[in-house]
Amino acid sequence: MCYLAWSIVIVFGSDSYTHTHTHTLILTLTLALTRPADPDGLFLFYMGEDKFENEELIKFGWPEDLWFHVDKLSSAHVYLRMPEDLSVSDVPEPVIQACAQLVKANSIEGCKLKDVDVVYTPWSNLKKTNDMAVGQVGFFKNKKVTKIKVVKDNSIWNRLKKTKREEKNPPLKKYRSERDQAERAKLKAIKAAKKQADMEARIAAKKLKEEMSYDKVLVEDDMVSNSVMASMTAEDYEDDFM
């Protein structure tokens, strides 16, 4: 049995394109193999229902997103929104498989096949030029694209359907703007903290230099050369210690 985006209505709607069917869902998946730092164990998936929604997802994707698509076949575009501290190599294999099953199940041709090749790459590696068709993308660097063989597994797909929650017409542009604003604030705070630390280090170094210079002056004032000592009389010594 093939599962299509239209029949099960697992879609991600656009906030700037009007559709006759604007019912929108965000998929989340809870796995046993999640990071200890992630108590909810949730991974967020975005999927466009058609090429116009795919275009919105391409346009307003996040640098942390991981993009999935069936290789050389038409399919849904699936985005995995990863925590910013998680690298591609750190994504648990069950999460990768879940994304791969999503694009396979939502491919008109791919869902009929026993297995397909699925490619995934960071959103930042997606290349979009003006001469490309709506929803079409390329890659900046092919070496950043990973290809895997995916065998149909309806059990994963059924788990995903049970974890869906609804959000109608999500404002993708607003989400990206808020994300960028938070990122700028974070970078600004890091820069300010570094500037403060550098200033404190310079002050401490200057203070240490001044203390060392003052100590040297005191030592030089207290020192008497051997030639001077040789010419001093007993009365001179007594005068120095009086």
C-alpha distances out from residue 144 to 66, 122, 124, 156, 238, Å: 11, 8, 10, 26, 85
Rg, the chain, Cα only = 33
- Domain map (residue ranges) of the chain: 5-170, 187-240
pLDDT at residue number 28: 47
Express each pLDDT in 219-242 by its tens digit: 555 555 555 555 656 565 555 545
Scan for tokens 């879940």, then name that residue. Answer: 98
Q: Which residue has the tokens 């050369």?
A: 225
**What are 27's strand-pairing partners?**
45, 164
Q: How far apart are CA 105 and CA 107, in angstroms?
A: 6
Rounded CA-CA distance 114/39 in Å is 35
Q: How far apart are CA 102 and CA 3, in angstroms?
A: 9
Residues 51 and 134: their CA atoms lie apart, in Å, by 6
Q: What is the pLDDT of residue 214?
A: 66
> What is the pLDDT, as a whole number, of residue 88?
87
Global pTM reads 0.68
Alpha helix (H) ranges present in 1-134?
Answer: 5-8, 51-59, 93-105
pLDDT at 225 (0 to 100): 54
Segment 192-206, tens digit of pLDDT:
999 999 999 998 888
Q: Quote the pLDDT of residue 38.
A: 46
The whole-number pLDDT of residue 55 equals: 84
Task: State the pLDDT at residue 39.
Answer: 43
Q: Which residues of the chain have pLDDT under 50?
A: 1-40, 241
Q: Are 57 and 46 spatial neighbours (Cβ–Cβ below 8 Å)?
A: yes
| Both tokens assigned to 135 | 């929803």
